[in-house]
Every structure is written in structure tokens, then in C-alpha cells.
Chain A
């Protein structure tokens, strides 16, 4: 069983569209994250949720909206997609929000054309 799974793995869409990326973890963890890895391979945190509550919201455009329907899911919805949104988005989870062992999904490669 995959610990942290993201769907879709690849997403190609046109500018201006709205898209969602789904994430599920079956590890029973309390904390989930979204990270963005750009073309230069910098991995930056976007959001962090703990027990369905938003804990961290880094400087991310309002077009990005995370939603956590339950502890095991953290979805990322993006409105009005722009070319600069093209990146690989990683979902991750950990038992608590601290530097401990976090488990990452395989990533979703988003390409905006």
C-alpha cells in the first residue's frame, strides 16, 4: 500500500483553467503538507495542516486553496492557472509538525500551457 498517494501524477492544462490535486495518506498521521518544487529544484513549503486545521500558509497566491475534508486527505485547488504555476507539487505527511520523519508522495507534475 502506498503511504502517501497523489493524483494525478501528471497534469497539463491551459492558462486560466481551474484544477485540483488530491492527496491521501494511510499512515494515520496528524499533519499534512503541500510543497512546490520549481524548475530549479527548490523545494518550498506552501501549506501545512494539522488535524484538518491550517497551520502554515506561506506566501502563496490566493488562487491556491488547500482543503482538508478529514485528517487523511489534503487536496490542493488552484484557480486561474498561470504559466508560473508549472512545477512539481508534493504532498507529505508526518505524525506531528516538526522535523521528524515525513513521508512524501510521488509528486504531481503540473504543466500550464
Chain B
């Protein structure tokens, strides 16, 4: 599995756009990039997944450059409720035998 590296923590004020970058230099051709969010005292929750370029949903956007060695999760206009740990995962979603492997994640603190 490709190793991922993320900042340990980030702070942001409410209303700002937050970008969390994840490095995955050893990403394989078949690997997808997936982000999860974990609120305190809850289980992780799937946010977004992508393979290349840009993916957007109602929660976030995921930007993946052409070399796919990194990805950026973008949260528009964060609120206090976006305070959580964000995990970047990389793996082959079609292998049939790869479980979710979580790294240390990025702890985002949104300040009023």
C-alpha cells in the first residue's frame, strides 16, 4: 500500500476555505485516493474519492495533479462543525483484498 503523509494539524477560522494536502509518492496505477472524516467520539465517515483531476461533491472537492503523487482536499467556507480529523487513504479499490488502512490523519480545528 502506498504510504501517505499529511500535516498533523491545521487551524482555520470560520468561513475560510481549508486545503489539506496529502503526499503519496508511491501511488500505484490502480490506486484510488479516498478521504475520510472523523468527528470526536464517532466513527470515520467517507467524504470523497477520486482517481485523477478534480472531484466535487456537496461536502468537499478533491484535486489530484497529473502525476497523482499528491492530492488536496478542499473544504469550502468551514464552520465549527467541520472540526474533525481528516484521513487520506490510497489503495487499489478493485483488488478485492485491500482493507482500509488509516494513517495518522490531519486534525483540523476551526476557530470562531
User: Interface on A for B, CB 8 Å cutoff?
Assistant: 4, 33, 35, 41-45, 48, 55-56, 90, 92, 94, 96-107
Q: Which residues of A contact B97 (CB under 8 A)?
A: 55-56, 97-98
8 other A-B residue contacts (CB within 8 Å) besides A45-B99, A99-B90, A101-B46 = A33-B100, A56-B99, A92-B100, A94-B100, A97-B99, A98-B96, A106-B41, A107-B43
Segment with Cβ contacts to A, from B13-21, B70-78, B101-109: B101-109
Interface size class of B (residues with CB under 8 A): 20 to 34
For residue A97, which residues in chain B have a CB less than 8 angstroms away from its CB? Answer: 96-99
B81 within 8 A of A: no
By Cβ-Cβ distance, the 3 closest A-B pairs, closest first, are A104-B43, A99-B91, A43-B102
Contacts of B32 in A (CB 8 A): 99
A42-B104, A99-B89 as given contacts; A106 in contact with B96, CB under 8 Å: no
Q: List 15 A-B contacts (CB under 8 A).
A: A4-B43, A41-B105, A42-B104, A43-B87, A45-B100, A96-B96, A97-B97, A98-B91, A98-B96, A98-B98, A99-B49, A99-B90, A99-B92, A101-B49, A104-B44
Closest residue of B by beta carbon distance from A99: B91
By the criterion CB–CB under 8 Å, are A107 and B89 in contact? no
